[in-house]
């Protein structure tokens, strides 16, 4: 069975959107993955078809109703009982390559896209929904976040990309940023490609790439570097902390 994505949204017309182009689009047309959208509004029960209401306790904006969301989630689960259900929210666990890889290895994913002020909190426990963030900034809706999540999964599916690109060199796969890349021309506006990369000496190239990946990670992403160093220092049998804290 190919990887099946179901997106629960108020804006189904946003899909496949950019995922209809390039490699993901070709893979979609070739059946390497499938996409279904579910209009959350179809599960509203009142005559105004309302999906949201004012926040309990007061404040600006509107909140997506748990009962309407639950009906949409139940519908999606019935069709695809094995796929995990994820809600896109800045309050969620930050998405990382390890989670992307495990999702891509599974049967697919059901993604709940928020709007307005977000979701009634009770939906998460009430329907076992995993909360996922794509970063520390606020989007206007979960659709873009869902596209990001799906793109990251789809490129890992068998046959979607050339073997080279899904390899273990990529940033984050090793817990480090990738080394810098160059291509011809050798001299561009007086800036040249590092000599070692033109040496043909594979051991030296490998050493340079590793050193660059390490120093770039240390300088640009001290958070990743600390985790990487921590993982190296910890004994292999040592307890792993899932939430990333120590
Ligand atoms: N009031 C909320 C933000 C709502 S933004 C808060 O402060 O936490 C509206 C919707 O956009 C959210 O429900 C979510 O689905 C989506 N969204 C916004 N930023 C996001 C992010 N960083 N990651 C994932 N989804 C996000």
- What is the distance in A from the centroid of ligand 1 to the CA of 141? 6
Residue 177 is predicted with a pLDDT of 97
Q: Are 178 and 208 in contact (CB under 8 A)?
A: no
- DSSP class of residue 83 equals S
C-alpha to C-alpha distance for 47 and 178, rounded to whole angstroms:
54
- pLDDT at 165 (0 to 100): 54
Does the beta carbon of 28 sit less than 6 angstroms from any atom of ligand 1?
A: no
CA of 114 to the centre of ligand 1 (A): 7
Task: Round the CA-based radius of gyration of the chain to a whole number and report it.
Answer: 22
Closest C-alpha to ligand 1, atom 23? 133
Task: Give CA separation, 102 vs 84, 95, 105, in Å.
Answer: 11, 11, 5
pLDDT at 246: 40
**Distance from Cα 236 to the centre of ligand 1, integer Å:** 36
Cα(3) to centroid of ligand 1, in Å? 25
Atom 1 in ligand 1: which residue has the minimum CA distance? 117
Rounded to whole angstroms, the Cα distance separating 25 from 219 reads 36
The Cα–Cα gap between 92 and 89 comes to 5
CA 1-143-38 angle, 5° bins: 55
24: exposed, middle or buried (Cβ count in 10 Å: 0-12, 13-18, 19+): buried
Residue boundaries of the structural domains of the chain: 3-154, 187-242
Q: 52-53 and 63-64 as β-strands: parallel, antiparallel, unpaired?
A: antiparallel
Residue 189, Ramachandran bin (φ over 0: left; ψ between -120 and 50: alpha; else beta): left
Instruction: Supply the pLDDT for residue 190.
Output: 98
**Coil, strand, or helix at residue 7?**
strand
Q: Looking at residue 41, what is its pLDDT?
A: 98
Centroid of ligand 1 to alpha carbon of 224 (angstroms) = 24
**Ligand 1 pocket residue status of 142, Cβ below 6 Å:** yes
Residue 175 Cβ contacting ligand 1 at under 6 Å: no
In residues, how long is the chain? 246
Q: What is the pTM of this model?
A: 0.93
- Whether ligand 1 lies within 6 angstroms of the CB of 144 is answered as no
User: Cβ(115) to ligand 1 under 6 A?
Assistant: yes
CATH number belonging to domain 3-154:
3.40.1280.10
**Cβ atoms within 10 Å of 59's Cβ, excluding its own:** 9
Q: Give the span between the Cα atoms of 100 and 83, in whole angstroms.
A: 14
CB neighbourhood size of 1 (10 A): 8
The segments of the chain whose pLDDT lies below 50 read 242-246
Position in ligand 1 atom list of the atom nearest CA 141? 11
- The residues with which 36 forms a beta bridge, in sequence order, are 6
**pLDDT score, position 152:** 98
Question: Looking at residue 244, what is its pLDDT?
Answer: 44
Distance 52 CA to ligand 1 centre (A): 15
* Nearest one of 113, 132, 140 to 51, comparing CA atoms: 113
Looking at residue 163, its pLDDT comes to 61
């Amino acid at each position: 069975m190919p990887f099946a994505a179901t997106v629960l949204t108020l804006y189904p017309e946003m899909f496949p959107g950019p995922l209809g182009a390039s490699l993901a689009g070709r893979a979609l047309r070739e059946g390497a993955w499938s996409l279904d959208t579910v209009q959350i509004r179809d599960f509203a029960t009142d005559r105004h078809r309302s999906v949201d209401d004012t926040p309990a306790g007061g404040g600006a904006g509107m909140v997506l109703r748990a009962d309407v969301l639950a009906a949409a989630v139940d519908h999606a689960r019935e069709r695809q009982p094995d796929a995990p259900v994820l809600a896109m929210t800045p309050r969620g666990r930050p998405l990382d390559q390890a989670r992307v890889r495990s999702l891509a290895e599974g049967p697919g994913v059901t993604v709940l896209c928020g709007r307005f002020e977000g979701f009634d909190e009770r939906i998460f426990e009430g329907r076992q929904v995993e909360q996922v963030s794509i970063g520390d900034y606020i989007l206007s809706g979960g659709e873009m976040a869902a596209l990001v999540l799906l793109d990251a999964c789809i490129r890992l599916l068998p046959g979607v990309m050339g073997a080279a690109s899904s390899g273990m060199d990529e940033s984050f796969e090793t817990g480090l940023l990738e080394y810098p890349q160059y291509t011809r021309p050798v001299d561009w506006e007086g800036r040249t490609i590092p000599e070692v990369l033109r040496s043909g000496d594979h051991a030296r190239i490998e050493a340079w790439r590793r050193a660059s990946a390490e120093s770039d990670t240390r300088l640009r992403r001290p958070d990743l570097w600390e985790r990487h160093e921590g993982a190296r220092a910890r004994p292999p049998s040592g307890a792993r902390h899932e939430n990333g804290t120590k």
